[in-house]
């Protein structure tokens, strides 16, 4: 495992390798003492009286071969389960600085041959760089990188840059061009030092399932407005709706199976009695079957429809409490019994429209909100009580609005006349 110091350790080994190779070339009689540095080109003194080599790492790229070998994985809490390496390729520019004629060419030629013969940074070469009784502080730090312990040796290869690419690089360096060789060091494998979370036991038995890869599509819902009643239902129209184990899932979590006669292009479904009035969404879900188990699979798009509340099918779904009358107005309470049951957070209003025979006075309309049930003990209720105050004494057609969906009215001819509450 190579630590985060792996990049710097690789540069240090390359620098030391080039420095150690120079005495064997017996160039000191012509070139004098030659130093090898590893600094940016703009920090080199090009007017120095002695020749030198400079090793500059100008680019780091992910290694495409190692990148997909082992991907990071995490548990449901976000804790890391695996510790894959960060695989990097390092791009270097080796430049020669000559103090006299031919010095640049001599240094560059010998350095190119050293790189060509080396090919890989052996574990012995890495250990030799960081061995010794007394190391400088920087090498002592880089010795802890454990570069020699990584799974794959670092390989060296020439990088055939064009003259245009080299000129662009030197323009970025901000320095005058010097004879150079570009090469790559592949691959440095760095890993985090903190341990990953120990995973659970291995898989005891693998189970496979085949599920549709194309989700069903709903294009239409019929009807778009449904009055709550026993057996009320909708039809979902689309494509790919009825493979094995298909279910219809509603926005509040209820599910219902497709009804008899359903096909791939049309599913008929009876609405669950626990749906709340208002705008409801539906989708078709195709579970994945794992032997005897069903798991959640692909789903269709969502489609909305309106579930209208209705008065409960009892003898007196609208009752009037004790009244306080004046010659023209009344104050009382009106209690209605509704289906489906009303949720604690739903907004409920009572709408009264005066019944006036023509010709007659201009009819009046009233709206009264039900008291908040945010703190009610029960999640749902079927009986809603409305305080009614200052209403003109008359007969009224009654509607109840729940989250924007209203109870239906009945008409005789062109006039709505049911249901009615008598406040005369």
pLDDT tens, 227-258? 999 999 999 999 988 877 889 999 888 999 99
Strand, coil or helix: 113:
helix
Could you tell me if 27 and 99 are in contact, meaning their C-beta atoms sit under 8 angstroms apart?
no
Residues 51, 113 within the same domain: yes
Q: Is the pLDDT of residue 133 over 90?
A: no
Choose the weakest-confidence range: 4-13, 128-137, 283-292.
283-292
**DSSP code string of 267-333:** EEEEPPTTPPSEEEEEEEE-PEEETTEEE---B---EEEEEE-EE-SSS-SEEE---EE-SSEEEEE
Would you say residue 406 lies in a domain? Answer: yes
Q: What is the CATH number of the domain that holds 335?
A: 2.60.40
Q: What is the CATH number of the domain that holds 248?
A: 2.60.40.10
- Report the pLDDT averaged over residues 171-194: 89
Would you say residue 205 lies in a domain? Answer: no
Q: Residue 250: is the preceding peptide bond cis (ω within 30°)? A: no
Residues 180, 221 within the same domain: no
Would you say residue 71 lies in a domain? Answer: yes
Which residue's structure tokens are 């985090």? 192
Would you say residue 266 lies in a domain? Answer: yes
Q: Which helix (H) or strand (E) holds 343?
A: strand 329-343
- Report the pLDDT averaged over residues 42-57: 86
Q: Is the pLDDT of residue 292 over 80?
A: no
What is the pLDDT confidence band of residue 47, given thresholds at 50, 70 and 90?
confident
Q: Residue 384 is encoded by which pair of tokens?
A: 């809603």
Could you tell me if 351 and 334 are in contact, meaning their C-beta atoms sit under 8 angstroms apart?
no
pLDDT at position 296 is 74
The pTM score is: 0.53
Residues 155, 20 within the same domain: yes
Q: Residue 347 is encoded by which pair of tokens?
A: 């907004």
Rounded Cα distance, 281 and 345, in Å: 18
- Report the pLDDT averaged over residues 337-345: 93
Strongest mean pLDDT among 73-87, 223-237, 281-295: 223-237
- Report the pLDDT averaged over residues 134-144: 90
Residues 136, 114 within the same domain: yes
Nearest residue to 387 (alpha-carbon basis) of 320, 314, 326: 320
Burial of 334 (0-12, 13-18, 19+ CB in 10 A): buried
Residues 239, 324 within the same domain: no
Q: Is the pLDDT of residue 358 over 70?
A: no
- Report the pLDDT averaged over residues 266-287: 92
Q: Is the pLDDT of residue 211 over 70?
A: no
Burial of 14 (0-12, 13-18, 19+ CB in 10 A): buried
Percent of the chain topping pLDDT 90: 62
Burial of 275 (0-12, 13-18, 19+ CB in 10 A): buried
Domain that holds residue 30: 6-190
- Report the pLDDT averaged over residues 355-368: 83
Percent of the chain topping pLDDT 70: 94
- Report the pLDDT averaged over residues 141-162: 91
Domain end (from 308, 333, 354): 308
Q: Residue 264 is encoded by which pair of tokens?
A: 């791939």
- Report the pLDDT averaged over residues 3-18: 94
Q: Is the pLDDT of residue 194 over 80?
A: no
- Report the pLDDT averaged over residues 47-65: 89
Rounded Cα distance, 423 and 326, in Å: 12
Residues 48, 139 within the same domain: yes
Residues 57, 164 within the same domain: yes
The number of folded domains in the chain is: 3
Would you say residue 274 lies in a domain? Answer: yes
Rounded Cα distance, 328 and 394, in Å: 9
Residues 185, 228 within the same domain: no
Residues 45, 181 within the same domain: yes
Rounded Cα distance, 120 and 186, in Å: 9
């Amino acid at each position: 495992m190579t630590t985060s110091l792996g990049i710097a350790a690789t540069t240090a080994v390359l620098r030391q390798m080039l420095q150690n190779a120079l005495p064997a070339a017996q160039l000191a009689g012509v070139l004098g003492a030659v130093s090898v540095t590893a600094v940016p080109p703009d920090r080199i003194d090009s007017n120095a009286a002695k020749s030198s080599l400079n090793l500059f790492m100008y680019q780091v790229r992910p290694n495409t071969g190692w990148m997909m070998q082992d991907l990071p994985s995490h548990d449901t809490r976000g804790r890391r389960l695996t510790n894959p390496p960060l695989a990097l390729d390092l791009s270097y520019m080796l430049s020669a600085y000559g103090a006299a004629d031919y010095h640049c060419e001599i240094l560059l030629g010998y350095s190119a041959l050293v790189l060509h013969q080396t090919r890989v940074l052996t574990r012995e070469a890495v250990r030799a760089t960081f061995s010794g009784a007394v190391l400088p502080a920087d090498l002592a730090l880089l010795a802890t990188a454990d570069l020699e312990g990584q799974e794959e040796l670092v390989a060296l290869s020439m990088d055939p840059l064009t003259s245009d690419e080299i000129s662009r690089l030197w323009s970025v360096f901000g320095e005058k061009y010097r004879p150079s060789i570009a090469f790559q060091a592949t691959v440095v494998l760095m890993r985090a030092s903190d341990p990953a979370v120990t995973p659970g036991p291995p898989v005891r038995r693998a189970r496979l399932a085949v599920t549709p890869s194309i989700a069903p599509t709903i294009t239409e819902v019929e009807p778009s407005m449904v009055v709550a009643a026993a057996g009320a239902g909708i039809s979902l129209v689309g494509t790919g709706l009825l493979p094995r184990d298909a279910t219809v899932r509603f926005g509040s979590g209820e599910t219902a199976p497709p009804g008899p006669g359903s096909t791939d292009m049309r599913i008929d479904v009876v609405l669950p009695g626990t749906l709340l009035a208002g705008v409801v969404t539906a989708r078709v879900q195709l579970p994945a079957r794992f032997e005897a188990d069903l798991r959640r699979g692909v789903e269709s798009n969502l489609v909305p429809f309106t579930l209208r509340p209705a008065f409960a099918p009892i003898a007196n779904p609208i009752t009037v409490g004790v009244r306080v009358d004046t010659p023209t107005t009344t104050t009382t309470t009106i209690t209605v019994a509704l289906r489906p049951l009303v949720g604690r957070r739903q907004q409920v209003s009572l709408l009264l429209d005066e019944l006036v025979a023509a010709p007659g006075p201009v009819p009046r309309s009233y709206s009264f909100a039900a008291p908040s049930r945010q703190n009610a003990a029960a999640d749902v209720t079927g009986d809603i009580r409305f305080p009614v105050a200052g209403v003109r004494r008359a007969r009224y057609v009654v509607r109840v609005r729940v989250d924007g969906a209203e109870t239906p009215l009945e008409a005789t001819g062109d006039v709505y006349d049911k249901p009615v509450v008598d406040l005369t």
